Amino acid sequence: RRDGSISDRDWSEAAHLDRKTLRRTREFACERGILYRARDYTGGAEDSAAWQPGPSAVPHIEGARKTSPTRWYTPTPRAHGRADPTLLRRTHARERREWALRCRLSLDTEASKETYKDSQHPAAKALRSLYAQRRRWASLTSEQQDARRRARREQLTQLHQRSRSAWFDWLAQRDELGRAADRLRHGRATSTDHQVLAQAPATLHLGMRSTLWRHPQSPESSHSTMNRRGIAPPVRRRQQLAAA
């Protein structure tokens, strides 16, 4: 690459090495003066570190350039690792999409020096919650998943019809949040996906423990009768709020 700038993932794909092996090999070369880091990675989805030949490699490179190949010269075959390049590209494509999304969300919290991992930006919190829920569900066995479905159906049968309808409405909203998250993750986000996730209600994080799914309200009115987690305050406190 120009100026020796290349990402670990691009380098890994070119060398047919997983990134862990690539880093060990690169560290070995740097310790022996074969490579050196010309520029550090500064952050973001577009930047990467730059590498140049080290002092031990420069004489050999210059000597090779001065030698004119003969008619019967056979170039040295390029060495590759044994990692599956198709699998590497597929894995790295997913990782690049996720990293680009994290960098984008971090821009919203740049002033506070937060990152996607610990950002309190509502969109970042919504994405972390959705991904965590999916991981937990996928970690269950089919028997455990069936047991949870039966328990939830039993719970729903005990609700009033209006409450059941409100819960199904929330599930439809959650599906839309999930589709927005998937589009962001795969680099196909619409102009409103980021805003949709930023405005996700507390029900996304708390499920039925939140009361917002029973009584959906506008953000302005909900702040006056419910706390930040969507849980109604005690009766006396509600009476005080009503009197105010």
For 218-236, give the DSSP string: -HHHHHHHS-TTS-PPPHH
Residue 167 has pLDDT above 60, yes or no: yes
Residue with tokens 């989805």: 45
Between the CA of residue 46 and those of 6, 7, 99, 124, 199, what are the distances in Å?
A: 10, 9, 10, 20, 28
pLDDT digit string, tens, across residues 125-140: 888 888 888 889 999 9
- What is the crossing angle of helices 161-185 and 122-139, to 10°? 100
- What is the crossing angle of helices 19-31 and 8-15, to 10°? 90
Lowest mean pLDDT among 89-103, 154-168, 173-187, 225-239: 225-239
Q: How far apart are the first and last CA of the chain?
A: 66
- φ, ψ at 26 (rounded to 5°): -65, -40
Q: Which H/E stretch holds residue 37? A: strand 35-39
For the chain, percent of residues with pLDDT exceeding 70: 73
Q: Which two tokens stand for residue 228?
A: 């930040």
pTM, two decimal places: 0.44
Between the CA of residue 147 and those of 9, 144, 191, 204, what are the distances in Å?
A: 41, 5, 39, 22
What single-letter amino acid sits at 5?
S
pLDDT digit string, tens, across residues 210-224: 877 776 554 433 333
